[in-house]
Amino acid sequence: MKKYSTSNVKIKRKVGLALSGGGTRGLAHVGVIKAFNEERIGFDYVAGTSVGSLIGALYCADVGMDAIVAEAKLVERRELLRRFLVNSDSANIARVANRLLVDRTFEQLSIPFTAVAVDILTGSEILLSDGNVAQAVSASCAVPGLFKPVRIGDRLLVDGGLLNNMPADVCRAMGAQIVIGVDLNHNRGSGARSEKLTDIVIAAWNITTKSTMYKGLQNSDIVIEPELGEYNRARLDNIDEMVAEGYRAAKAQMPGIKKLLGLK
């Protein structure tokens, strides 16, 4: 039987956290969670897409936020992407994730968690909530064109951002009555930084995922929007700055969040 953690403050209604995709800008999610930890606010349900699934899974596995930052600083680009970028092995993501998840299954997580992916064979949104967590995370993070799809059973899975980049509706389906969303790219769709292949692929992805935010925005009671436009979502530079910006954005919204949750 699953054993779920509870928050340190009494909240009458069930609360969900929906973490969006956004490449390496996902380190801002760490700062957001740090802000909630500081306020002793926990969550009953968590759902994540792409990098949001990675940070969400680690949070639900009780991995400390400082440990995530330390691991991120050790990760090298070549660990994740091939030299020429196209169709890098998604298992690389699973290996990096597993260094902190240590082969955990969803049943072993402290908080109910769902990772969002898309079956590229059928075009269907797939919710992953059982089996190996690192494998599910690698599927949710498999951006088409950058990573190979991940086969789980008879499904061929890619990044969930194709259909649902901030899965607040998934949190509601899990049982959340209040949902707080975190959007890493609220200025998405602004175009490419250069003519480099990486920047073009990322710009195309941002334009695509702009239209997949609708469900997330409609199902979130509050959306935290870190200002991350100056950071390249394909690089692991400025880690501390992105964490700090996530923290700042969450703290700025905290009075409204606490009011919504019925806290002083």
List, in order, residues 6 or more apart from 84 with CB less than 8 Å away. Answer: none
Find tokens 């680009």 and name the residue: 77
> At 71, is the secondary structure helix, strand, or coil?
helix
Instruction: For residue 183, indicate whether it is catalytic.
Output: no
Catalytic, out of 20, 44, 50, 119: 50
The answer to whether 152 and 139 have CB atoms below 8 angstroms apart is yes
What is the Cα–Cα distance from 38 to 254, expressed in whole angstroms? 11
159 is catalytic: yes
Q: Are 67 and 132 contacting, i.e. CB atoms less than 8 angstroms apart? A: no
Q: How many residues does the chain have?
A: 264
CA torsion angle 205 210 215 221 (round to 10): 120
The Cβ of residue 253 has, within 10 Å, a number of other Cβ atoms equal to 19
Q: Over the range 105-115, which residues count as b (16 or more CB within 10 Å of their CB) and which as e?
A: ebeebebbbbb
Catalytic residue among 44, 88, 140, 159, which?
A: 159
Is there a contact between 164 and 217 (Cβ–Cβ < 8 Å)? no
Rounded Cα distance between 235 and 72, Å, is: 11
Cα–Cα distance measured from residue 19 to residue 167, given in angstroms and rounded to the nearest whole number: 7
Q: Which residues are catalytic?
A: 50, 159
